[in-house]
Amino acid sequence: MEFVNGPPLDRMMASAQPPDKDFLLRIFRQTAAALDYAHKKGIVHRDVKPANIMIDSDGTAKVTDFGVAKIVSQTMTLTGTMMGTPSYMSPEQIQGVPEIDGRADQFSLAASVYEALTGEKPFAADYLPTLLFKVVREDFVAPQRLNPTLGPRVETVLRRAMAKQPADRYETCEEFIGVLAAACRATPDWAPMPRNTMQNMPTTGSIATPKLEPTAPATFAPVPPRRRPEPRHTVRNAIFMIAAAAAISAGAFFAIRSGAEKQIVGTENPAPEPQPKQPSTAVEPSPDASALPAPETKAAGDARAPTPAPAQKEAGATDAPGNAPPLPEPSTFELTATPPGSTAIFDNDPNLHCDTPCEIPLPPGRHTFTVNSPGYREERRIIEIPRDTGIIVNLEKSAGTVSVTSNPPGLAVSIDGKVQSRRTPAMFTVAPGRHHVEVAKGAEKRESNVEVHDGGTTDLNIDWQ
C-alpha cells in the first residue's frame, strides 16, 4: 500500500480556513480522472467522499479505500445490500440496485463538491431512514442560498450530476468537473465556504437589535442620604396591610354570596302577592284547609331539589359534539419500495393498503406495516406519525440452497438445464420451488428433482460407486 504524506480532504474542509478555490478544482479534477480510470476497468468505488480523497505533500490527489469497490463483471454480487456512506450515497445504491456503474461515483463526487463549496452536506437528517428518503426523493437546497458567491450555473451543474436517475447525469466524472469549473469561473469572485458556516449564522427571521447612538453623559445632582427605616416597623406595617386586604376581600366575598343566595331563594320561592280579603274564607274555613299546607311544603321542597340541574345542563353542554376538541389531522406518509409495485398493508387492516411508490394519510401515533411482493421476503416496519414522513424499503429475494455432493467429487452440475461453473461438492442458491438437477460423469448423467424452500437447504448426493 502506498504511503500518502498528507491529510484527507475532509480534514482540510473542517479547518477554519477552507482550501483555496483553485486548489479545490484541481483536486476534484484529479479525483475525477482517477475514478474514470477505475470505471474503464469495470470498477465502481461505491464510497467516494472527502475522507477518502487524500492530498499528498506535492498536492496530488489520491483516491483511497476501495474496500467496498465492486468489479461489475464479477458474478458474485450483494443484491439488495446497501454499501457506502449514506450522506454521499447515490439513490441507486440506497435502493439496492444490483447493477450500478460509474455514475454512482459521480453522484458521490458531486455531493462532496457541494459540501466543499457550501460547507454543508446536500442531504442531512437526524434519523437514518429520513436521510435515505431525502437522497432518493427530495432535492437539495440551492448552493447559492448557502454560499451567495456562487452563481446559478453551479446549481444547474450540480443538479445534473446528482440527478435521481443515473441516465440523467454526465457521461463521465471528468466531464462533470470540466463543466463545473466553467460554471464557477462565470462568477470570478466566488469562494468556498467553511464547513458548518450556516450553523453559526443568525436565522433569516431573527429580529435585529437597534444600534444605540452614544449620548452625552448625564449629570446627576447629589442626593442626600436617606435614613433607613426600622425593619420591625416595615414588617409590622406589611402584615397589617395584608390582613386588612384579606378582611376586605372576605367581607366582599360573603356579601356577594349572601346577596346571590337571597336572590336565588327569592327566585325559587317568590313571596305571594297580597290577595283581597274574602269574608267567606275567613269566617268559614274549608274542611280541607288543614291539608293545604302540606302541598305547599312539598312544592317548596320540590322547588329546592332541582337546584343542581343548571350545573348538570352546563356540564352536558360542555360534552356536546360541537364543543369537543377537534381530532388531530392525519399526516401523509410516503413509501418507496424495491421492487416497485410491492403491496404495503398498514396496521393489519386490508382496507388500509397501497402499491408502492405511494402516499397514504395516517393519523398521529405508532403504526406498523408490511411490504410484500411475489418472489421476495416480507418486510415489516414500525413508524411514528408525524415524526416519520417517508421511508424506503428494499425487499430481499426469496432464496434457498441446493447442496450437491458426489462420489467421486469434481463432477459437472446443471440446474434447470443451465450448466453451473462450480463442480461437486458445491452449494447453489436458487429460488424456492421445484428444480431439476443433473450431475454428469463424462457422458453418463444422473438426474433428480429437488424441492427448495425459502431460507432452507436441500441436500443431494450422487454416488457412482
Distance, CA of 414 to CA of 144 (rounded, Å): 59
Instruction: Supply the pLDDT for residue 247.
Output: 54
Contacts of 198 (CB under 8 A, 6+ apart): 119, 120, 146
Three cell numbers written together for 12: 482540510
Question: What DSSP character marks residue 76?
Answer: -
Identify whether the C-beta of residue 50 lies closer than 8 Å to the C-beta of residue 112.
Answer: yes
DSSP 261-292: HHHHHHHHSPPPPP----HHHHHS--GGGGGS
Beta bridge partners of 217: none
Q: What CA–CA distance (Å, rounded) separates 358 from 350?
A: 16
Burial of 299-321, coded b for 16+ CB within 10 Å and e otherwise, reads eeeeeeeeeeeeeeeeeeeeeee
Q: What is the chain's pLDDT, residue by residue, as a tens digit (465 residues)?
A: 577 778 899 988 888 787 889 999 999 999 999 999 999 988 999 999 999 999 988 888 999 887 555 544 343 344 444 455 788 999 999 988 878 999 999 999 999 999 999 999 999 888 888 888 899 989 999 999 999 999 899 999 999 999 999 999 999 999 999 999 999 988 888 999 887 665 444 443 333 333 434 444 444 344 444 444 444 444 444 445 555 555 555 554 444 444 444 444 444 444 444 454 444 444 444 444 444 444 444 444 444 444 454 444 444 444 455 566 676 788 999 998 888 899 999 999 999 999 999 999 999 999 999 999 999 999 999 899 988 888 888 888 899 999 999 999 999 999 999 999 999 999 999 999 999 999 999 888 999 999 999 888 999 999 887
Domains of the chain: 9-198 (1.10.510.10), 331-394 (2.60.40.1120), 400-463 (2.60.40.1120)
pTM (predicted TM-score): 0.52
Q: How far apart are CA 403 and CA 416, in angstroms?
A: 15
CA-to-CA distance for 39 and 169, rounded, in angstroms? 15
pLDDT at 67: 59
CA angle (258, 260, 261) in 5-degree steps = 65
Report how far apart, in Å, the C-alpha atoms of 175 and of each of 88, 169, 325 are: 19, 10, 59
